[in-house]
Amino acid sequence: MSKLTTIILTKNEERNIELAIKSAAFSDQIIVVDAKSSDKTQELAIKFGAEVISDDYKNFSKQREAGLRQAKGDFVFYLDADERISPKLKEEIENVLKDEFALEVYKIGRQNIYFWKYKWPNIAKLERLFKKDALKGWRGEIHESPMYDGKVGELSGLIIHYTHNDLTSMTNKTIEWSQVEAQIRIDAKHPAMTWWRFPRVMVPAFFNYYILQKGYKLGTAGFIESMFQAFSTFITYAKLWEMQNKDRKT
């Protein structure tokens, strides 16, 4: 039977880390890759049996690769602190570990839960389980993607993702990451922001979540989340506008 390393990325996740680790307790090794948390994340991670790597990571790709370098398992599974491995997914992963003909990569559905109880209608499939030797690394600063060799399969069990649980944390996180998102656009020589570019990016963001992803099925919660995605897009591009104007003055 193959060995499994679960890698959990954290920064100030003291509210989530215990349940994340417990959902991955069947792993042979659990590594928490922490981006210099200022709360009790690292202390709690060690308490619940995880190994901790700590550094001032500049992006998620480097954070994921740091965990990969320390992984001892034949397979690696990536989990975020606000995610949980469902019982069905646990069973499927264990079956993969027993399978001598297992594939190199597996996509897994992630069920987003908003405000602790609203299940988002759209379920994205993400590459999260890899044979360690097949995973070559990660690219991208925020919306990172894996680089790997080999065949890809799918598991039917779900990752349960408790995201956007309250408006305060949602807004704080949006403001925090808008600087990074805007800098990526600055580096890509994004055209100067003007008023008409804002609805041009905000309306598709709302349409994607409310219509294409069927957020309307959740009633008020779906409308709030779709509007928040448009707002989040606005904040990123407003920050871009601010940075562009600052550059012009210097």
Nearest CA-CA partner of 51 in 15, 85, 5, 91:
5
What is the percent of the chain with per-residue pLDDT over 70, rounded to a whole number?
A: 98
Ordered DSSP codes for 102-138: --SEEEEEEEEEETTTEE-S--EEEEEEEEGGGEEEE
Ordered DSSP codes for 16-37: THHHHHHHTTTSSEEEEEES--
User: How do residues 44-79 score in pLDDT, each as one tens digit?
Assistant: 999 999 999 999 887 889 999 999 999 999 999 999
Whole-number pLDDT of residue 248: 63
- Residue 122: pLDDT band (50, 70, 90) is very high
Is 202's pLDDT higher than 90?
A: yes
Whole-number pLDDT of residue 141: 76
